Amino acid sequence: MFLKVRHDHDASLVEVLNIKQLFNPFEERVQARLHGGEELQDPGNFTKADLIFPSGEALPRCWVDSHYKS
């Protein structure tokens, strides 16, 4: 799945490598790889609060807030 870094003016996409981390509201970070240029980048950890969908929409609350039902 590809997401975008919220405050990146270059609109770089990141490829989420561990989808289970993304869906788990108890995980604050997700393992992903920046996609920019032609070379494959090394994986890194990105804070979910800094990621949005390429359309500009925020991630669903149930993915980022462990208390979303309360």
Residue 70 belongs to a domain: no
pTM (2 d.p.):
0.84
Q: Which residues pair with 48 in a beta bridge?
A: none
Range of the domain at 32: 2-64
Residue 69 belongs to a domain: no
Residue 29, burial from CB neighbour count under 10 angstroms (0-12, 13-18, 19+): middle
* Distance in angstroms (rounded) separating the CA atoms of residues 5 and 60: 15
Tens-digit pLDDT profile for residues 38-66:
888 899 999 999 999 999 999 999 999 99
Residue 45 belongs to a domain: yes
In the sheet with 2-5, reading across from the earlier edge strand, the strands are 44-47, 29-35, 13-16, 2-5, 51-52
- Domain total for the chain? 1
Residue 58 belongs to a domain: yes
Q: Which residues pair with 58 in a beta bridge?
A: 52
Tens-digit pLDDT profile for residues 2-48:
999 988 666 789 999 999 999 999 999 999 999 877 888 899 999 99
Residue 41 belongs to a domain: yes
